[in-house]
Structure 1
Amino acid sequence: MQYLGIVFGSLIVAFGFNLFLIPHQVLSGGMSGISMILGMITPLNTGFANFLLNLPLLIIGYKMLGRRLIINSILSVIIISIGLYIIPVHAIAQDKILSSIFGGAITGLGVGMVFRSSGSTGGFDIISMILARKMDFPIGALLSGMNGVVIIISGFLFNWDSALNTLVSIFVTGKVVDAIYTDHAKLTIMIITEKGEEMRKHLLSNLYRGLTIMDGVGGYSNNKRNILVTVISRYELNDVKNLISEVDTSAFVNITETIEVMGLFHRPSPN
C-alpha cells in the first residue's frame, strides 16, 4: 500500500507538470523547476535532467534521513522522471493563471501523497525534510522559502509574468502539501508489549527520538509487560508503525495528538 501511494502520487506530480505547468512555462519548485528550465532551454529531456539533478541529493539524504526513506524517494524520482518522459506536454487549460493554480494544487496533492507514504520526490524535498526534522517547522513553508531562486531564474530567462505565475504555483503547492502532510504536528505513542527490550533496541536504532520505558501488568492476564512512550512528528508515524509491527504484531499501540512539547524533543547525542 505504501509503494502504491508513492507510485500514484509521483504520477500525479508528472501529470501536473506536463499538462498544466510546462506548457505555459510555469515552473515547479526546487530541482524539478530547474529540470524544467533545462528541458525548455536545452535538448535535454526534463525527466532525464530530473534524475541527474536528484542523484547527489539522494546520496546526502541516505546519510541524513535513513535507508528506508531514500529507497522510497528513489522510487518516486524514477516514476516522476519516467512520467515526464512519457506523458506528452499538452496544455489542458489555455489560461496561464488557472494553469498555475491547478497545476500547483495537483503537484501539491502528489507530493503530499508521496510524503504520507514515507517517501519524498527528491530535490529540495530532501533538504526541507532534514530542516523540518531539526526545526519542527511546516515542510510546505520551507519548500516555498527555498524556491525563491527558481522564481528569479524564471523571471530572467523567460519573463516576469512567468515568474509571478511560478510564484503562484509554488505557493499553492506548499499550501496543499501542508494540508495533506501535517509533518510538524506532534503525536504521543504509547506501546504496550511483552517484547520491551527488543522493541527498545529496534526503535532507538531506527528512530530519531528518545523513549521512556515503564513496567506494567496486564489487568486480565496478570502478565508483566513494558510500556514504551515517545513523542514523534506526524511524518514519522508510518515508519514507527512499521517498526513496531516488525518486532511485535500483537503490541497494543495508542496514538494521541500532542498540543505542545516542552524540553528535549530530539534524542540527545551520546557523550
Structure 2
Amino acid sequence: MKRLNRLLILFVCSIILGISFNLFLLPHEVLSGGVTGLAMLFGLLTPINSGIWLVILNAPIFIVGWMKLGKEFILNSIFSVFITSITMQYVPVSQITEDALLSSVFGGVIAGVAVGLIIRFYGSTGGADIIGLLLTLKRDIPLGGLIFALNSIVVFISGFVFSWELAMYTMASIYIFGIVIDRIHTRHIKLSLMVVTDRGEELKNELIKNLIRGITVMDGQGGYSNTERKVLYTVISRYELTLVKSLITKVDPKAFASINETVEIIGNFRR
C-alpha cells in the first residue's frame, strides 16, 4: 500500500509538471532548466516533441544514477519522466495568459511544487535533479539552489537562440522553481536531537531499529528531583523528525526532547 501511494503521488505530480510546461512555460518560450529545459528548447527548434527529447537526453543520466542512487529511485524517476513525457505529448501547448511574466511565475511555482514532491517521495524528473542529488550525497547543499546553478546554462542558451528578454523570464522561472523545491525538499536540513528520558535503553533500541543513526547515551540527573535519567543525543535529517517524534511519544510520553537546527556536521553522517 505504501508503494502504491508513492507511485500515485509520483503519477499525479508528473502530470501536473507536464501541464505546467505546456500551459505556462512553452507557450511563451520560457524554458525550464537543465535537461528538461534543453528538451523544451529542442522541441521548439525541431519537429520532435519535447517529451521525446526528455527521454532521449535523460537516458545516460539514468544509467549513472542507477549505479549511485539505487534501482528503486531510478525506476521511480523513469516512471515520472515517462508520465511527464506522455502528458506533454497529449496536453496541447496553449496560453493560459498572454502575460509572459505571470506565466513564468506561476509555471515556476507549479513546476517547483511538483518536482519537490516527486523528489520527496523518492523519485526525480531526471537531468539536473539526479546530478544535484548525487552532489548532495557529498555535501549538505540546498538542492533547489544547486539545481538553480546547474540550470542557469539554459538561460544563456535561450538568450542566444530566442531573446534576452525571454532568457530573463526563464531565469525568474528557474529561480522561483528552486526556492519552491527547497521549501518542500528539506533533506539537507539537519537537526540535533537531545532526549531526557526514564526509559533510555528502550528508547535507544527503538531509535536504532528505525533509524540508521549513531546515538550517544549519557547519564543525567534531575536538578530538582535528583532522579537518575538517561540523555540521548543524535543528529537526524529533517525528513526523519516526524518518525522520531512518534517513537519518543510511543516509548516515553513524559520524555523531554530538545530539537535544534544544526549549522554544520563534521565527521561520519549517513546522507
Q: TM (normalized to structure 2)?
A: 0.77
Question: Which runs of 5 or more structure 1 residues have no equivalent in the other structure?
Answer: 205-209, 215-227, 242-250
Which amino acid is 1:83 matched to? Answer: T
**In structure 1, which of residues 260, 264, 267 is the aligned counterpart of residue 267 of structure 2?**
264
Kept in 1: contact 2:216–2:234 (CA 8 A)? no
Q: Encode CA deviations 1:117-137: one digit per residue, 9 max, x unaligned.
A: 111111100011111221101
Which amino acid is 2:127 matched to? Answer: G
Q: Secondary structure at the match of 2:138?
A: helix
Q: Which residue in the other structure is 1:151 paired with?
A: 155
Distance 1:102 1:130 in 2: 28
Q: Which residue in the other structure is 1:68 paired with?
A: 72
Structure number, greater radius of gyration:
2
**TM-fit CA distance, 1:230:** 5.8
**Sequence identity, in percent?**
41
**In structure 2, which of residues 223, 230, 237 is the aligned counterpart of residue 233 of structure 1?**
237
Distance 1:103 1:230 in 2: 40
**TM-fit CA distance, 1:192:** 4.7
Q: Which residue in the other structure is 2:7 paired with?
A: 3
**TM-fit CA distance, 1:72:** 1.4
Q: Secondary structure at the match of 1:107?
A: helix
Q: TM (normalized to structure 1)?
A: 0.77
Counterpart check, 1:124 vs 2:122: no
Counterpart check, 1:174 vs 2:175: no
Q: Name the CA shift for 1:3/1:187 in 2 (closer, same or farther; >3 Å).
A: farther
Counterpart check, 1:142 vs 2:134: no
Distance 1:85 1:159 in 2: 26
Q: Encode CA deviations 1:87-127: one digit per residue, 9 max, x unaligned.
A: 11111010111111111111101101111211111110001
Q: Which residue in the other structure is 2:39 paired with?
A: 35
Kept in 1: contact 2:192–2:261 (CA 8 A)? no
Question: Which runs of 5 or more structure 2 residues have no equivalent in the other structure?
Answer: 196-201, 218-231, 244-249
Distance 2:12 2:251 in 1: 31
**In structure 2, which of residues 18, 26, 46 is the aligned counterpart of residue 14 of structure 1?**
18
Q: Which residue in the other structure is 1:26 paired with?
A: 30
Q: Name the CA shift for 1:26/1:70 in 2 (closer, same or farther; >3 Å).
A: same
Distance 2:134 2:260 in 1: 22
